[in-house]
Structure 1
């Protein structure tokens, strides 16, 4: 095998190991008596060191050799793992990552000498040994193998034969290494594009077969539909990665922040095996890290402050991920001080981000969500961690770019929860097809809340105009409306009769509005195609897709539509707030119920 291929394999394996090593070192600091964990860390560093020597990467070999000496002392019970020692080992991991990046980008090491790091490593290794008797069984010393033997990729065919013979010896148990292969991401992207084209062809055939009275054609079309759906799901699964891959570096982030801020923070992660498309995984990495940093810096209090508040000294930060309705929900929960809505209000007013009238009408939850405004900050001083007013607005923008939403809920003195809702994939999404002005448009289903169809007299009586703004009285509350043909300035000559009004209720940011369209067609799985460079600056559109008849339909950008139409303006909020205040006494004794009958039982009611 050529050196370039050896280096490529080395980089792939080393990066995978280092992602795991960060978390293992943080866990080892908490549980220094865990011999298996220590052995795993030692093996990883030992393997990287040996392969560096084989490939003649001298700098990497020197810094990993010193780290291996320290880990060897820990493994032999000659030294106690302290916070300072952990910091040196984590700094070593950072240096290894930096060198690997340099090798990947340029083919050679960065040229940095790491003099200070090597001095600290040597000082740690040469300190008088502090013995620690671990309450564990003695370990068998690991055999020191030659570097060339540690890293000796074999031909694929040989691996396959070895896997079969080993599986027989192990009773048909196949190891993870034998049952998986690495595939270039470019190939997966190519497969995904081809599946997208197949979905488009499938939609066209289904539309054609629906017009033909041919049972054989219809049966074949349905079979093609099923096979295409299964193939699409299979290819999408190949691009899926567990969200735990994104979370892998967060224990290190929390540990470093807790150390620098003088806090005690415990990190819990639930649902780390929840899978997302690789593109989504890459897009949410930075927003998640920023939210976690904010929770550690602003949320969780210092130990003495927590004691005064009757809380445990150690704060808890919980990451949770789960599937729901074709999307993934991610929650970042801390048990810290929470967000004081009045402090947020005062800060927003002082920075002229909201008007006093609007601020007075906002609920505590709406006030808390002002932290997502560009430039907003309540920090009294700027630190290296946060306080510059840059970040949470970028988090919101980046999440919305991938079709997601972010929301914040907080209780002063109890903690804060940030909820992120994102689609599983960006390539193929479910969408609602509507028409307006004779043109078809697609609304992403993630933004869809409800469909309303008003007939004849109801359309005239229930749609009102307040201060020139059309609104619909929906279950006692005013819903601002926008006409799609007016927002997009499309020809309204073919607009449907005003006797029938179709309203699509949508969610934009933390507010709801209704979009009036001519007709509501059906839901389809659509293949998202990006807009050209000249159209990217046009608000209101998120992309395009090819429909079953071969024609193009534009995909609507719901937040953009809301901004262009003005349905989330302060004037709208003022109308809704005034109307709500006026109707409190009038409707206080009324409740809207959904009546239904279950089997042979009597009628039941569910509050709406």
Structure 2
């Protein structure tokens, strides 16, 4: 119903605009009745209203516009001559249509508006065509028109006389067809062909819907303004210019805020804060004017899927989720072609024929799903099918056959790395070239186009189950949040869309945590070996930091993570993206430039290019070493990393780190209750809370303003475990363990020279949410065996980009 309401609203706005234009067009047409262009324009407008009203089941509106369209068609074809009387009848039709639209706006339906009188009058006017059979000279037409005007004027003047006599000027045949109309109360007062009498006569044929008239002046009048007068057409170039001006305002705002931050003038600080707020609201408002729902490009895809399905003899159902997700107009145009290609590719390569699907035990009808959502300041668009999926073995064999990779290198690649090869230029697995796909171009172009707008593309596939292509696109290209870093004395900006977390290591920790695997530096981040790229090495510069301190920006690109080592982190701020010249663009490391708050120019790093360099720098030996190290870390249970937390009363608990999704800080006042259970609103969901002190009988402090929360998420469900304090992250290696336990514990161990209780995480989760595992009964093992949804990122709730000291 919501979708229908949107369609009706757009129909009303467009129709009101068309009716205003029709009034002036019809009056102008009277002055030049032979204008075929104007007649055709009027016909098309009425035809559009008629077609849409029929689609929306507004029967009376369709009826009156249908008969009006018939008259206009005959006028356009020359079968009827345009007279002032016929013009008046058409204007009466326009007024009736306007009244119907007003009723639809006010009540959602056509109400009691009666159209029979106008329909009869238009039908009679079409029959009243004595001159239609023979051509009328141009000179004679105005004479006849003047005669008719005089006749109608005399009829109006004597309308109240008991027995009006027809004037001699009116031709005899004109009286006969008007006789049936005389039975309708409004018919005798034929409107004059002048604009003023038409406006006065307009209410007469609508006497039957007086009920709608008062509402049009009060409630419906407001609705009319809310719908038709609440929109305005603005040239896109004007919006682009406005966006540029807002960008300059943001730059100036940043400079003023930084300058005032060094001032002690309280009034100046308040004024800058006010400027900051207004500039942010103005920026948000201007960006909203450029936002359009993704359905604008999705609406064309059902036809694409239908036609391709028929051509390939496949039965496919298209499902769409998140049609209302909004995206900048410029980006919307940029993703239209890549998205269309992904859909065609899924129909052609992904979904099998009905016979093959039946053999595989699937329904004959395939399902192609489009999903869109906002996530962490970007738009995520997924194209998912339930088809045959991509076989890594077949993909790898094709790559070796084409010489894109050696068999030796292929043997060292993981399934995810093999899947990424579909984006290599000239790569195609199509058995034959068709007019749908398989020309060896397409997926590489898709990736290039998505990366050109600062986005990324990932592919996931399960053989026999289906494939998902996931696009991550920034909300806008003009103004983006970024992290400003320093390297060799110069400043650089990293878009936050690619930033996952920051890790700061002092000299002692850096010496032990940064390792060499296969000759390449890696950092063991919570058990995962993270390949490192030193920005100084990429740029060919010498670092100006010599204290051994290491700062790592953990970035994600193309489905893989890597660490970018920089000298220091400056701050986060919104930057205005400026294009760079061809010389800088050719280097392949920069996606743009910006002016920072202190007036200095900073280059914006191209994260995708850095990622490719990082992964390309890994030789086969390094990849094999990394894989071996990862496997060893996964199978070495004794080296399981643990999160230590205090729960009050001097007690400490250890929680397996792989059961921790995120660490958050939640204000006590934000905790709410559902019955006897405590909950908190978190990222658009309601999370149940379990307080470990109460769960384990410790009962620590209860008057804390901020709660330390451990969030565990799996299969779309999450719980919040409250502790008193997060202490440390330690290895479980060589820990002295004991089976001494109590309710809610799995045992105990000596960690950090102190006896620490080993938490039964599953019991704690069930205490918070008894139905946590019912949605996925297969996951009945200890939660430590379950892979967390997101990597751990220590961030105070609602404050992105916190620095984690490990």
Question: Normalising to structure 1: TM-score of the pair?
Answer: 0.73
SS at match of 1:512: strand
Q: Counterparts of 1:71-86 in structure 2 under 5 Å?
A: none
Task: Check 1:485–1:364 CA distance in 2 against 1; reply closer, same or farther (3 A cut).
Answer: closer
Q: Counterparts of 1:508-587 in structure 2 under 5 Å?
A: 508-564=557-613, 569-571=618-620, 572-585=622-635, 587=636
SS at match of 1:377: coil
State the partner residue of 2:255.
204
Work out whether 1:288 is the aligned partner of 2:212.
no
Work out whether 1:382 is the aligned partner of 2:441.
no
Question: How far 1:538 moved relative to its partner?
Answer: 1.4
Residues 251 and 267 of structure 1 are in contact (CA less than 8 Å); yes or no, is this contact kept in structure 2? yes
Q: Deviations over 1:146-172 (max 9, x none)?
A: 37979x9xxxxxxxxx9x995636152
State the partner residue of 2:67.
143
Q: Larger radius of gyration, structure 1 or 2?
A: 2
Match of 1:186 among 226, 237, 244: 237
Structure 2 CA distance for aligned equivalents of residues 498 and 565 of structure 1: 25
Match of 1:507 among 556, 569, 584: 556
Q: Counterparts of 1:120-159 in structure 2 under 5 Å?
A: 140=63, 142-145=66-69, 146=72
Task: Check 1:55–1:448 CA distance in 2 against 1; reply closer, same or farther (3 A cut).
Answer: farther
Task: Check 1:499–1:285 CA distance in 2 against 1; reply closer, same or farther (3 A cut).
Answer: same
Match of 1:462 among 506, 513, 523: 513
Structure of greater relative contact order (alpha carbons < 8 Å, 6+ residues apart) = 1
Work out whether 1:168 is the aligned partner of 2:218.
yes
Question: How far 1:359 moved relative to its partner?
Answer: 2.1
Task: Check 1:541–1:548 CA distance in 2 against 1; reply closer, same or farther (3 A cut).
Answer: same
Q: Deviations over 1:342-388 (max 9, x none)?
A: 11121112112223233223333332232112111111111000111
Structure 2 CA distance for aligned equivalents of residues 256 and 546 of structure 1: 49
State the partner residue of 1:278.
329
Match of 1:489 among 523, 526, 540: 540
Task: Check 1:168–1:376 CA distance in 2 against 1; reply closer, same or farther (3 A cut).
Answer: same
Question: How far 1:573 moved relative to its partner?
Answer: 2.5
Q: Counterparts of 1:84-123 in structure 2 under 5 Å?
A: none
Residues 376 and 497 of structure 2 are in contact (CA less than 8 Å); yes or no, is this contact kept in structure 1? no
Aligned residues between the structures:
491
Structure 2 CA distance for aligned equivalents of residues 57 and 336 of structure 1: 53
State the partner residue of 2:422.
371
Match of 1:404 among 446, 452, 455: 455
State the partner residue of 1:159.
none
Q: Deviations over 1:278-300 (max 9, x none)?
A: 11101100000000000111111
Task: Check 1:385–1:144 CA distance in 2 against 1; reply closer, same or farther (3 A cut).
Answer: same
Task: Check 1:576–1:182 CA distance in 2 against 1; reply closer, same or farther (3 A cut).
Answer: same
Work out whether 1:214 is the aligned partner of 2:265.
yes
Question: How far 1:57 moved relative to its partner?
Answer: 11
Gaps of 5+ in 1: 1-19, 25-35, 77-133, 153-161
Structure 2 CA distance for aligned equivalents of residues 471 and 362 of structure 1: 18
State the partner residue of 1:452.
503
State the partner residue of 1:115.
none
State the partner residue of 1:414.
465
Higher mean alpha-carbon deviation, 136-145 vs 190-199, is at 136-145
Residues 371 and 383 of structure 2 are in contact (CA less than 8 Å); yes or no, is this contact kept in structure 1? yes
Question: How far 1:511 moved relative to its partner?
Answer: 2.3
Residues 540 and 564 of structure 1 are in contact (CA less than 8 Å); yes or no, is this contact kept in structure 2? no
Match of 1:256 among 296, 303, 307: 307
Task: Check 1:138–1:539 CA distance in 2 against 1; reply closer, same or farther (3 A cut).
Answer: closer
Residues 277 and 425 of structure 1 are in contact (CA less than 8 Å); yes or no, is this contact kept in structure 2? yes
More helix by share: 1
Residues 293 and 385 of structure 1 are in contact (CA less than 8 Å); yes or no, is this contact kept in structure 2? yes
Residues 633 and 639 of structure 2 are in contact (CA less than 8 Å); yes or no, is this contact kept in structure 1? no
Work out whether 1:334 is the aligned partner of 2:385.
yes
SS at match of 1:537: helix
Question: How far 1:195 moved relative to its partner?
Answer: 0.5
Residues 456 and 499 of structure 1 are in contact (CA less than 8 Å); yes or no, is this contact kept in structure 2? yes
Structure 1 CA distance for aligned equivalents of residues 477 and 241 of structure 2: 15
Q: Deviations over 1:222-252 (max 9, x none)?
A: 1111101000000000000110001121111
Work out whether 1:233 is the aligned partner of 2:157.
no
Question: How far 1:565 moved relative to its partner?
Answer: 5.3
Structure 2 CA distance for aligned equivalents of residues 167 and 416 of structure 1: 57
Task: Check 1:593–1:166 CA distance in 2 against 1; reply closer, same or farther (3 A cut).
Answer: farther
